[in-house]
Amino acid sequence: MTTVVDSGAQGPTDQVPSRPGPGHRGRRRAVTVAVLAALAVGLAACGTSASASSPPGCASGAPKMTVEASGQASASPDILTITIGVNVSGPTAAAALSDANGQATRLTDNLKLSGVVPTDIQSTDFSIAPTYAQNGSITGYQVSNTLLVTLHDLTDAGQVIDKAAASVGNAIRINGLTFAVSNTGNVDGQARAAAVTTAAAHARAMATAAAESLGGICSVNDSTTGPSPTYFALNGGDQASAASGAAVPLEPGTQQATAQVSVVYLIVPK
């Protein structure tokens, strides 16, 4: 979307006394600090802003052109986060807990043997709950222990999942996968560059059509949305496949970042 905005003339500026009286320096310093704080709040509310050495005409009532444009860039995910754990049942709470502890230890040890560093393995959920018969009596206990595991090498991620699942058999529970891009700064920058390039092309075309010339850039504001993580849920069939040792096919695909920029140009009559 492209828009053109003509700015109106500014009102008169406040005059500063040539000979400030006592205490005027202190008041002026306080006013300056307040104005700077207000500007910082305004820029934060408008998103990222870049305005290096604006041309003199930007502060006057000269006509200006505001151009809005968007740009996109894509990147392949390089991080995989897995929600994986064990779920076991037993006749008593102590028996179920003992079984779950052993299964969880085997699962964690297997992940480490597959190259996952300890700092990328985090406990996220643990529960013990009774199971009931239709008449309301307790039939046993169920224990669940869930881990959040981060993989940085996607080439063998499927094998890591296969081996982890095989180490605990039918106790395995895999609740979902999340693909993400670790360095979002690069793809965000590419999206911004594409948006600014498009805005500049639109501005030149509009100025030519209006028989005007573009002056300097008064300001550039952008609103960039980085690549969002992609979530996948595994159903019971997928978990059974993993537990049996079958390969888990993983396709990370690509993720997109979108930038929206607003560029204000001076218009210089020919």
- 35 φ, ψ to 5°? -65, -45
Side chain identity at 156, as an amino acid letter?
D
What pTM did the predictor assign? Answer: 0.61
Mean of pLDDT values over 23-49: 37
Q: Which pLDDT band holds residue 254 (cuts at 50, 70, 90)? A: confident
pLDDT digits (tens, 9 = 90+) for 75-95: 889 999 999 999 999 999 999
DSSP assignment of 61-114, as one string? Answer: T--EEEEEEEEEEEE---EEEEEEEEEEEESSHHHHHHHHHHHHHHHHHHHHHT
pLDDT score at 61: 78
Q: What whole-number distance in Å separates Cα of residue 122 and Cα of residue 133?
A: 34
Q: What whole-number distance in Å separates Cα of residue 33 and Cα of residue 39?
A: 10
Give 19 or 197, the one with higher predicted confidence. Answer: 197
Q: What whole-number distance in Å separates Cα of residue 43 and Cα of residue 136?
A: 61
Lowest mean per-residue pLDDT among 17-21, 194-198, 252-256: 17-21
Q: What whole-number distance in Å separates Cα of residue 67 and Cα of residue 214?
A: 12
Q: Both tokens of residue 53?
A: 């050495």
pLDDT score at 256: 87
